[in-house]
Amino acid sequence: MVCVVGCHCSVSPALHFAALSHNWGKGPQGLFSPTSLSLCFAFTDPHSLSYHFTISPWPRYGQPWCEVQGEVDQKIFLSYDCGIAQIKYMSPLGEEVKNMSTWETQTRTLRDTGDLLQEHVLDVTPEKHTDKVGSGPLTLQARMTCWREDNGHTSASWEFGFNGQLCLLFNSDNGHCTTVHPGGRQMRENWENDRAVTDFFKKVSMGDCRAWLRAFLVRWEKMLKTLGDGAPRKPQRVLCRPEDSVSAWPPLFSCVHFRARR
């Protein structure tokens, strides 16, 4: 098996991930099972921070080439247009932390991440993709999530997909990446000898995201208890249709979001 330098990569058994990759972006019936190879992406900590990136290399007129949506504990707090560096504060959560120095660091890093993702989506050949990824212009969706465990340890992961099709999973903790759709193979191969890319993903998710979560929670802790019921919740990853998305912007990365369960 060809592997990204510094990563342990594997193509999951077809039957094991068939429902997962087929339903990504189609319906709420697909879940990450705690017994699957994606165990590292199922977590029980009540505090999580995630960023949804949508990269459109050839956007239509008036459409941003890069959009980012930020969520804390499944609650949207920002929408960011990388191209014009425009931020929309989507809730009081965003307003509460917008004057922190951490906020400025966050937006710069989000722009850098958008630039890197754009570079790599341009290297992917549409003809090498199948199913609903299809041919023609590709839209890259990426989701970075970091979360604080009950023992205080912070874990992180990335998900990558094209045109609503989940293709590649990357566990920042151990560098394990799993191809769940043929569309992810070329990207994995492109990163094969590019240690700088995987190191960047690890640094941003395990370092930057963790620091942002820790800093923002100083302001957010009480607000999150007020907005919710304050009880610990287990975020459960749910595959959903675009119309089910919690996102207010177009369904470019509306394939996955979290719903809480007791």
CATH number for the domain spanning 204: value is 3.30.500.10
Q: Are 32 and 21 in contact (CB under 8 A)?
A: no
Quick one: 11 exposed, middle or buried, by C-beta within 10 A (0-12, 13-18, 19+)?
Answer: middle
Tell me the helix, strand and coil percentages in the chain, rounded to 5.
35, 30, 35
In a domain, 1, yes or no: no
Question: What pLDDT score does 207 carry?
Answer: 94
pLDDT at 175: 78
Q: How many structural domains does the chain have?
A: 1
Which range of residues forms the domain containing residue 181? Answer: 8-261
Tens digit of each residue's pLDDT, the chain (262 residues): 333 333 444 333 222 333 333 334 332 222 232 223 333 333 334 689 999 999 998 888 888 999 999 999 889 999 999 888 888 888 889 888 988 999 989 999 999 999 999 988 877 766 555 455 555 678 999 999 999 887 778 899 999 999 888 999 998 988 777 888 888 888 888 876 788 888 999 999 999 999 999 999 888 888 887 776 443 343 343 332 333 333 332 333 333 333 333 3
In a domain, 52, yes or no: yes
Does residue 169 belong to any structural domain of this protein?
yes
d(CA 67, CA 86): 10
CB 88 within 8 A of CB 78: yes
Question: Is residue 171 included in any domain, yes or no?
Answer: yes
Residue 187: predicted pLDDT: 84
Which string of b and e fits 218-241 if b means at least 16 CB within 10 Å?
eebeebbeeeeeeeebebebbbbe
Nearest CA among 62, 95, 63, 101 for reference residue 76: 95
Question: What is the pLDDT at residue 161?
Answer: 92
pTM over 0.85: no
- The closest alpha carbon to 17, from 166, 237, 236, 172, belongs to 166
Residue 218 included in any domain: yes
Residue 3 lies in a domain: no
Q: What is residue 116's predicted lDDT score, i.e. its pLDDT?
A: 93
Spatial distance between the Cα atoms of 247 and 73, rounded to a whole number of angstroms: 14
Q: What is the pLDDT of residue 126?
A: 62
In a domain, 188, yes or no: yes
pLDDT at 176: 77
